[in-house]
Amino acid sequence: MTEMIRVGNCSGFYGDRASAMREMLDGGDLDVLTGDYLAELTMLILGRDRMKDPTRGYAKTYLRQLEECLGTALDKGVTLVSNAGGLAPARLADEIRSLADRLGLTVSVAHVEGDDLHDRAEEQGLGSPLTANAYLGAFGVAACLDAGAQVVVTGRVTDASVVVAPAISRFGWTRDHLDELAGAVVAGHIIECGTQATGGNYSFFREIEDLRRPGFPLAEIRSDGSSVITKHENTGGAVTVGTVTAQLMYEITGPRYLGPDVTARLDTVQVSQDGPDRVLVTGTRGEAPPPTLKVSRNTLGGFRNEMTFVLTGLDIEAKADLVRTQMTEALTPPPRDVDWTLARTDHPDAGSEEAASALLRVVVRDADPQRVGRVFSAAAVELALASYPGFCVTTPPGQGSPYGVFEAGFVDQAVPRHVAVLADGTRVDIAPPTVTTAVEADPSDKPVGRPSAEPTRTLPLGTVAAARSGDKGGSANVGVWVRGDAAWAWLRSTLTTELVTTLLPETAGLRVHRYEFPHLRAVNIVIDGILGEGVASGARFDPQAKGLGEWLRSRHVPIPESVLAESGLA
């Protein structure tokens, strides 16, 4: 049999289920347990923590999990790898050693550093951000594991790297093992968001028998780079071709998935059911990585505030116009950015007051905290007896709060001083890859085939298609996939960028890209700029675009009868 390593996940974000580490350690066999704590927004949160206290900047919840679980992990021989170090991996490593001493445990703790470019940002043309962290690869973590570390913490590495590194260490892969590395990257991408691989946020969630508490995923990674995605027995959720496909389409762009160690060709990935709650992932091909590394940059963009007016009953549009006019006249000079959104959540002849109401939301941003603080919110509240009938707001007046702006930067692979700091303090320099390939952005695909001329029924797109969406800075992606050959022939000929902009009017005037993944029967749509300057500054109702795919699925399109028949809906 092909040699295999079992790598689990117990965190998809900073704030994920606190008991997951315990559940994964107690639930079944593992070789390695990983956790991802660092989203783009998290780096901003940790940056503000570090401003208040230079000793902070790591995910404090990880320490709380270890307090309960470190002894169990050591008893079971499970290695722990996470990026919970954030902006202070050395500090977190020291805290873990102190925790182990208090618990009477002996543990080998190592960390990886070199991603933090904050002090060198200006010289690298990255401006003067609050945080600037290069996305490092897996070989630094692998060096720590090779030296016998039982716990490894990192700063900003790619999400998949904490999963790839144990496979590198176990199988002795080098930078030349591109296909194997790419396969492990795909396995890491699938499990790094935790329960999104086991039924969480899944379009066809009603097909899953028990989704009350889905189990966290694990990957059985093989020496050839293939893997089986599964979960512990007797846990909730499900692992199916559908749940795995959905996660494969999460927060990606084109067929080439660029990383610091390898470029994984997502258009080569094949998935198949390998038994109950087991999905086999094979065929992934790898190419040399790009010569540059992505850098996560967060800056403080100013201050923001918001108010939501409740508009009830008749004349909703006129009421909204009145408030806009009154607030515009009251805020002179106006804040730098003023965004209004009217959500027509009201229903005619409603049986409850809430169902009869719409929501008018205004978000303001400015460099001056006073202009978006009490000056703004007091102006809204002062209208209480002088505006539309039934005046109501959802929150009391308050001060503005600081917000951040995310931007991606790029530096040469050799710029970060990538170092594995072993348990005994030895510092091992990690050389960048010697072979790289400059990759242009994948061009948008053109639709394949022509729409069918057969009879159709106009129904929600989600009748036959699933979707998953997410954010990347100011852009968003929506991966759409189907489960049958007839549906795939229809989807790839029908779901054009023009149709997307028609179905999603918010995309008007924005650049929309389209990419096909035939092995997955999927089309990925990337919408540039729909999230403005990123989640921390966004005024959009859904600032991380998590519901964008479900909105697209709810839009009505003509679906051929043959596609409906294939889906059992004839």
Find, among 344, 428, 529, 486, the residue nearest to 142 by Cα: 428
Q: Token pair of 79, please?
A: 């290695």
pTM of the model: 0.95
Contact 186, 162 (CB under 8 A): no
> Tens of pLDDT along 25-35?
999 999 999 99
**What pairing do the DSSP bridges indicate for beta strands 419-421 and 279-282?**
unpaired
In whole angstroms, what is the distance from residue 365 CA to residue 537 CA?
9
Cβ-proximal residues to 30 (8 Å cutoff; 6+ apart), any chain: 6, 7, 8, 24, 76, 78, 218
Name residue, tokens 């295999």. Answer: 4
Residue with tokens 């800056």: 299
Where are the strands (E) in 147-269, listed by range?
A: 151-154, 217-222, 227-231, 256-257, 263-265
| pLDDT at residue 398, rounded to an integer | 85
Q: Does domain 299-405 have CATH number 3.30.70?
A: yes
pLDDT given for residue 451 in this prediction: 77
Task: For residue 285, give the H/E element and its range.
Answer: strand 285-287
Question: Would you tell me how many other CB atoms lie within 10 Å of the CB of residue 367?
Answer: 12
Helix (H) / strand (E) element for 97: namely: helix 89-103
Cα 5–chain centre separation: 25
Residue listed under structure tokens 């790297």: 161
Q: For residues 127 and 86, is the Cβ–Cβ distance under 8 A?
A: no
Within 157-268, residue ranges assigned H as helices are 161-171, 178-191, 241-248
- How far CA 23 is from CA of 276, 426, 469, in Å, comes to 20, 34, 28
Is residue 418 within 8 A of residue 430, CB to CB? The reply is yes
> What span, in angstroms and rounded, lies between the C-alpha atoms of 57 and 80?
20
At 1 the pLDDT is 42
pLDDT value, residue 537: 67
**Amino acid letter, residue 134:** A
Pairing of strands 279-282, 227-231: antiparallel
SS3 assignment for 410-431: EEECCCCCCEEECCCCCEEECC
Closest CA to 501 of 550, 555, 443, 459: 555
Task: Tell me the angle at which helices 316-330 and 374-381 cross, rounded to the nearest 10 degrees.
Answer: 140
Residues 6+ away with beta carbon under 8 Å from 258:
289, 290, 294, 439
Q: In this predicted structure, what is the pLDDT of residue 2?
A: 61
| Domain locations along the chain | 4-291+413-429, 299-405, 456-566
pLDDT tens for the 570 residues of the chain, in order: 469 999 999 999 999 999 999 999 999 999 999 999 998 888 988 998 888 888 889 999 999 999 999 999 999 999 999 999 999 999 999 999 999 999 999 999 999 999 999 999 999 999 999 999 999 999 999 999 999 999 999 999 999 999 999 999 999 999 999 999 999 999 999 999 999 999 999 999 999 999 999 999 999 999 999 999 999 999 999 999 999 999 999 999 999 999 999 999 999 999 999 999 999 999 999 999 999 999 999 998 899 999 999 999 999 999 999 999 999 999 999 999 999 999 999 999 999 999 999 999 999 999 999 999 989 999 999 999 999 999 999 988 888 888 888 889 999 999 999 999 999 999 999 999 999 999 888 888 888 888 778 999 999 999 999 999 999 888 999 999 999 999 999 999 999 999 999 999 999 999 999 999 999 999 999 999 999 877 666 678 888 999 999 999 999 999 999 999 999 987
